[in-house]
Amino acid sequence: MDHKAEFGERLRAAMTHAGYALRSIVLEREFNCRYWGRSATLQAARRWLRGEAIPAQEKLQVLADWLRIEPQVLRFGEHAVLSARAKQKSWEDAVTGPEREVLQAFINLPAPQKKVAREVILALALARVVRVNRPLCPAQAAQHFLYFFPEPQGQGSLRPIFGLARTNVVES
């Protein structure tokens, strides 16, 4: 079933639950009483009920307010909303107190410093992936490093460079 047909089913269920008759004239009248923009036609209301069209977001919001249902549930369905909430909850559960503090500090940084912090974090993550996916032999491990240097013209940003040290390491 396509998204439009599913929307039509949810709209009909919401109208029934709210105690309204499943008629396009009822939908058109009730919608136009609440919407201050360009009014919906009887044909548009019929297409919404039949699942042939989905209204624009601002019209969907008016329908949801009228039928006392969340706009996301009306548009995407309960399963999509529950899935989004579960993902948000898993994110909230995964982030501990100290991590929240770091994230809040990051959010409050000015844009240039956010860029630097992002580059550092991504470089560290990449260094971990390189280390985990390609273990180095002991001679290389002593030479492997994450080297940062300022961008030219003194802009103060850090650019990560991965590689082997340029100096020879003598094993003892």
**Residue 143 has what pLDDT?**
47
First to last CA, the chain: 70
**Residue 44 has what pLDDT?**
95
Residue range(s) in the chain whose domain bears CATH number 1.10.260.40: 3-87
**Residue 130 has what pLDDT?**
61
CA 98 to chain centre: 23
**Residue 136 has what pLDDT?**
53
In angstroms, what CA-CA distances link 77 with 13, 48, 81, 99, 114? 11, 15, 7, 33, 37
d(CA 160, CA 139): 22
**Residue 125 has what pLDDT?**
80
Q: pLDDT tens digits, the chain, 172 residues: what are they?
A: 688 999 999 999 999 999 999 999 999 999 999 999 899 999 999 999 999 999 999 999 999 999 999 999 999 988 887 887 777 777 777 777 788 888 888 889 999 998 988 888 888 888 776 655 565 555 554 444 444 444 444 454 455 554 444 444 445 4
1.10.260.40, 3.50.50.60, 3.40.50.10740, 1.10.760.10: CATH of 3-87: 1.10.260.40
In angstroms, what CA-CA distances link 142 with 62, 88, 156, 170? 64, 41, 28, 10
The 10 Å Cβ neighbour count of residue 169 is 12
pTM score, two decimals? 0.53
